[in-house]
Amino acid sequence: MTDVVALLGHPVAHSLSPRMQNAAFAARGLDWLYVAIDVPSERLDEAVRGLAGLGFAGANVTAPHKQAVARLVGSELPSVNTLVGGEGHSTDAAVLDGLGAGLDSARACVIGDGGAAAAFRAALPGARVFSRKGEWPPDVGDAELVVNATPVRDELAFEPEAWALAVASGAPIVLREAATWLVENPFDPPAENWLILPLVSEDNMVGVVIARAREPIAIDPLSGTVLTLLGLQLSAGITTARLRQQVRHAEMERERRTLAAEVHDGLAQYLAVALRELALGDAGNQERLKESITEAHRLVRARLQELVAPAPLGGLKDAIEQSAERVRRRGLAVRVSGVGDGLGPEAVSLVTRVVSEALANVDAHANAHEVTVHFAVKGDQIQLDVADDGCGFDPATAPGVGEGHLGLTVMRERARAYGGDCTVESAPGAGTRIRLRIPA
């Protein structure tokens, strides 16, 4: 059986630890597996507690969780980077063991504010500490030992004044010093001659290009113009890519909600009725059971046909009457009234689906005798009211998505997506009224 070890952090996709550890396991002939698990802070407690239950032999902990995990496992250490058997350990400061007993911690400096820095601060109680949250920049001129426990950064962390300078200029910035007063120098060793090209889009920094040179950098007007134009092109590309991601995400979310609505509005309702009839076990209900299963089958076939055929066009009243007729066949009295044709297919589809959902809810839950459906087109607005004389309910305590009930949520979201609104008025013993208002 393979033993599995985890790396807990956020983010961890960039980590090379799985590759190195798995190579070491293979070289030693061990049947072990090392996996990186991205754990956001809000899921950390759950992840730590779940390690043993999921059969993990242990775990390493990386930024930004070392100190939080130490608290979760009740460790006396300020931070831990290893978990074995539910106990926390730290090897971050083990490198100090090779420096001998003569090290004067008062002549040491620790740079950083994270978990590794906390481990070194505990091992060097007299050391001076430098971080961006406290004393900065570091003054380590007289130190015998300097521990740089700052993480490797994937992006530059500009001071607020530096961001303002870069955004305001929109032009390349040439530096002829390490410039740690401006931004953490990204080069090792720190560059003395380097360039920052801010990528700005609508006064927002979307990225930065940095470059270094061995000799002092000099930019003539032509070079400055070329670099500025290059920055504008890169900024436009980044902005376009982000917009495409946002559009793609919005499209996926819309498709997800549409699919959930389709299943709920049709298949789920018919199957729910079928299950109810089965639970009653009354031979007299067999016809309704057969009808519900037949409707569920019909709906599946209809949805498949819709994938290869355009949506049919039709008048609003006819579409509402079709929805009402399905409920009438199950014994519920439905009166339809109103005038308003000539509407687009999207509007007709939305109103019809809200009517279908409202009538399905009445049939399943309201114990009503009659439902009235009234629609009208007034100016640039379509108005729909569906009222029943059923038992009613308290909308504030109605079950929602978390309990598996999507109906009211689906109606509201559909109306909101179309630029309108859908409200529910009800009270115990007073029936229910659904009001839909959308643009015509």
- The answer on pLDDT for 86 being more than 80 is yes
Q: Which of 227, 246, 265 is the last residue of a domain?
A: 246
Domain contains 276: no
Domain contains 51: yes
Select which of 66, 290, 317, 378 is catalytic.
Answer: 66
Examine the domain organization and report whether 130 and 9 are in the same domain: no
Exposed (0-12), middle (13-18) or buried (19+): which is 103, by Cβ within 10 Å?
A: middle
Q: Which of 246, 268, 301 is the last residue of a domain?
A: 246
pLDDT at residue 60, rounded to an integer? 94
Range of the domain at 386: 313-440
Tokens read off for 86: 């539910």
Examine the domain organization and report whether 80 and 166 are in the same domain: no
Range name among 48-62, 229-243, 299-313, 326-340 with the lowest pLDDT average = 299-313
- The answer on pLDDT for 3 being more than 80 is yes
Examine the domain organization and report whether 396 and 431 are in the same domain: yes
**Using the 8-state DSSP alphabet, how is residue 106 labeled?**
G
Domain contains 266: no
pLDDT at residue 202, rounded to an integer? 75
Instruction: Encode pLDDT of 126-159 as tens digits.
Output: 888 888 677 767 777 778 788 888 765 444 555 5
- The answer on pLDDT for 305 being more than 50 is no
Place 303 in a pLDDT band, splitting at 50, 70 and 90. very low
Domain contains 418: yes
Examine the domain organization and report whether 46 and 114 are in the same domain: no
Directed axis angle between helix 345-361 and helix 316-328, to 10°?
Answer: 20
Domain contains 254: no
Report CA-CA distances (Å) from 231 to 157, 191, 205, 228, 244.
Answer: 19, 22, 11, 5, 20
Examine the domain organization and report whether 242 and 336 are in the same domain: no
Residue 93 and residue 45: Cα distance in Å, rounded? 25
Q: Which of 225, 246, 267 is the last residue of a domain?
A: 246
The average pLDDT across 173-197 equals 73
Domain contains 213: yes
pLDDT at residue 335, rounded to an integer? 93
Instruction: Encode pLDDT of 393-412 as tens digits.
Output: 888 776 554 443 456 777 78
Asked about 290 being catalytic, the answer comes back as: no
Examine the domain organization and report whether 326 and 426 are in the same domain: yes
Examine the domain organization and report whether 177 and 54 are in the same domain: no
Dump the DSSP string for 258-323.
Answer: HHHHHIIIIIIHHHHHHHHHHHH--GGGHHHHHHHHHHHHHHHHHHHHHTTSPPPP--HHHHHHHH
Q: Domain count for the chain, please give it.
A: 4
CA-nearest of 292, 419, 418, 259 to 349 is 418
pLDDT top residue among 71 and 138? 71
Examine the domain organization and report whether 77 and 191 are in the same domain: no
- The answer on pLDDT for 270 being more than 50 is yes
> What CATH number is attached to the domain comprising 369?
3.30.565.10
Examine the domain organization and report whether 319 and 432 are in the same domain: yes
Place 98 in a pLDDT band, splitting at 50, 70 and 90. low
- Residues, the chain: 440
Examine the domain organization and report whether 228 and 208 are in the same domain: yes
In terms of average pLDDT, the best of 44-53, 168-177, 202-211 is 44-53
Domain contains 229: yes
Phi then psi dihedrals of residue 264, to 5 deg: -70, -45
Examine the domain organization and report whether 317 and 439 are in the same domain: yes
Mean pLDDT of the chain: 78
Residue 14 and residue 212: Cα distance in Å, rounded? 24
Domain contains 164: yes
CA-nearest of 373, 378, 383, 377 to 420 is 383
Instruction: Find all residues with CB under 8 Å of 369, minimum gap 6, and list them.
Output: 332, 333, 389, 390
Examine the domain organization and report whether 139 and 190 are in the same domain: no
